Amino acid sequence: MNCPRRRRCRGFSLVELLVVIGILALLLSILLPALRIAREIAQRSACLSNLRQIGLAFMQYATDNHDSMPSWSGWHATAFPPNPGDEVSWCGKLAKIIPPDSAVYQCPSFPPQAIKLHNYFIESVWAGTNGRHSTRFSDVKLGSRFVISGDMTQLGLYPPPLGTSSSQTDDYDRDDYGMPCLCFPDDGGFLMHRGGNNVLFDDLHADTLSEFDPQVMTFHPKRMLSWQQVVDAGPDQAVNGK
């Protein structure tokens, strides 16, 4: 009895292979954007968490310092100045709560650089306009709307190629007295995250905003004003001399 002849194995044809490759490419084109969006959402959430931690540090500091948030004093290349008599940066003042070089100060959505940069600022335009170097929580009369920190999206404070600053050194004392730190595309800034910039308010809630919203945010603790409006309004008579 003759054994049946074994069937010859048949491989994929070129057309079948191209169809499989096409299906895989289609699936990847669908999956990769979804993964990118998921990663961006996770980074934005991590940034919001960073800001809340900074807000808690502000409040803890204020508890021990007559209700005042950390004072700012200008540009600092290090958290602590080389001369003991010089002013300490606000990050340095929070060192017992958050280490000055902690990742808490770095937004995970910020493009990776050769040097890590502090991406958050302390609100100071109102205090500075009134001759002060710190803001008290008790100064705030518009609860949940007064900006105290947020993503730093001022191109003039970042070195090239991301910005226009001539300095390649990080600043441990970022504040917005003299130059706005929280900027949006319509006022020369950029969006740090998909959907907007993260902003921290006086009640320690943080939110993502795509533009300055005069209904929900202010840089003045008692009036609904934009950063520029605070500058234009000048000192408040009620707080002059304090």
pLDDT digits 0-9 by tens, 133-145: 999 999 999 999 9
For residues 21-37, give the mean pLDDT: 69
Q: How many CB atoms lie within 10 A of CB 9?
A: 5
Q: How would residue 242 be classed by pLDDT, with cut points 50, 70 and 90? A: very low
The verdict on residue 95 lying in a domain is: yes
Measured CA distances, 18 to 10, 12, 21, 28, 201 (Å): 17, 10, 5, 15, 55
Mean pLDDT computed over 16-25: 72
C-alpha span between 214 and 240 (Å, rounded): 25
Domain of 96 in residue numbering reads as 16-233
Residue 194 has pLDDT above 80, yes or no: yes
190 domain-assigned = yes
Tell me whether residue 75 is in a domain. yes
> Would you say residue 3 lies in a domain?
no
- The pTM of the full predicted model, rounded to 2 decimals, is 0.83
Rounded to an integer, the average pLDDT of 14-32 is: 70
Residue 123's region, left for phi above 0, alpha for psi from -120 to 50, else beta, is beta
Mean pLDDT to the nearest integer, 7-18: 64
CB contact burial 197-219 (16+ within 10 A = b; e otherwise): bbbbbbebebbbbeebeeeebbb
Q: How many domains does the chain fold into?
A: 1
Q: Where does residue 195 fall: left (phi above 0), alpha (psi -120 to 50 degrees), or beta otherwise?
A: left
| Cα Dmax for the chain | 115
Mean residue pLDDT across the chain: 88
Average pLDDT of the segment spanning 53-82: 94
Decide if 241 is inside a domain.
Answer: no
Mean pLDDT of 90-105: 96
Whether residue 7 is predicted with pLDDT greater than 70 in this model: the reply is: no
Q: In what order do the strands lie in the sheet with 197-201?
A: 120-122, 147-151, 197-201, 206-209
